[in-house]
Amino acid sequence: MMYSVKELYRPETLTDALAYMAEHPDARPIAGGTDILVSMRKKKPEDVLLVGLQNLQELRGIRRRDDGTVEIGAYNTFTDLANSPIIAESVPMLRTAALAMGGPQIQNAATIGGNVCNGATSADSAPGLFARGAILVLRSAAGERRVPITEFYDGPGRVKRQSGEILVSIELPAYSAAHYGDCYIKFSTRKAMDLALIGCAASCGVAEDGTISDIGIALGVAAPTPIRAVEAENFLKGKRLTADMLEEVGNLALANAKPRDSWRASKAYREQIIRTLARRAVRAAYEMAGGVL
Partner 1 sequence: MQTIHIKINGKDWTGPVEDGETLVDMIRYRLGLTGTKRGCEVGECGACTVLIDGVPNASCMWLAALADGKSITTIEGLTNEDGTLSPIQQAFIDAGAVQCGFCTPGMILSAYALLKRNPHPTREEIKVALSGNMCRCATYEQVMEAVERASDLLAAAVVEKE
Q: Which is nearer to partner 1, 157 or 290 (CB)?
A: 157
Q: Which is nearer to partner 1, 41 or 43 (CB)?
A: 41
Report d(CA 108, CA 102) in Å as an integer.
10
Shortest distance in whole angstroms from residue 104 CB to partner 1: 5
Q: Which is nearer to partner 1, 3 or 267 (CB)?
A: 3
Burial of 12 (0-12, 13-18, 19+ CB in 10 A): exposed
Shortest distance in whole angstroms from residue 267 CB to partner 1: 27
Q: Which is nearer to partner 1, 34 or 115 (CB)?
A: 34
Q: Which is nearer to partner 1, 49 or 207 (CB)?
A: 49
Classified as helix, coil or strand, 30 is strand
Report d(CA 196, CA 112) in Å as an integer.
16
Query: Which residue type does 245 have?
Result: M
Closest CA to 222 of 136, 151, 135, 123: 123
Shortest distance in whole angstroms from residue 54 CB to partner 1: 6
- Spell out a b/e string for 175-192, using b for 16 or more CB atoms within 10 Å of the CB, else e: bebebbbbbbbbbbeeee
The pair phi, psi for residue 101, each rounded to 5°, is -90, 125
Shortest distance in whole angstroms from residue 14 CB to partner 1: 17
Shortest distance in whole angstroms from residue 168 CB to partner 1: 19
Q: Which residues bind partner 1 (CB under 8 A)?
A: 1-8, 10, 30, 32-34, 37-38, 41, 50, 52, 54, 79, 102-106, 108-109, 191-193
Shortest distance in whole angstroms from residue 75 CB to partner 1: 12
Q: Which is nearer to partner 1, 84 or 90 (CB)?
A: 84
- Spell out a b/e string for 241-254, using b for 16 or more CB atoms within 10 Å of the CB, else e: beeebbeebbbbbb
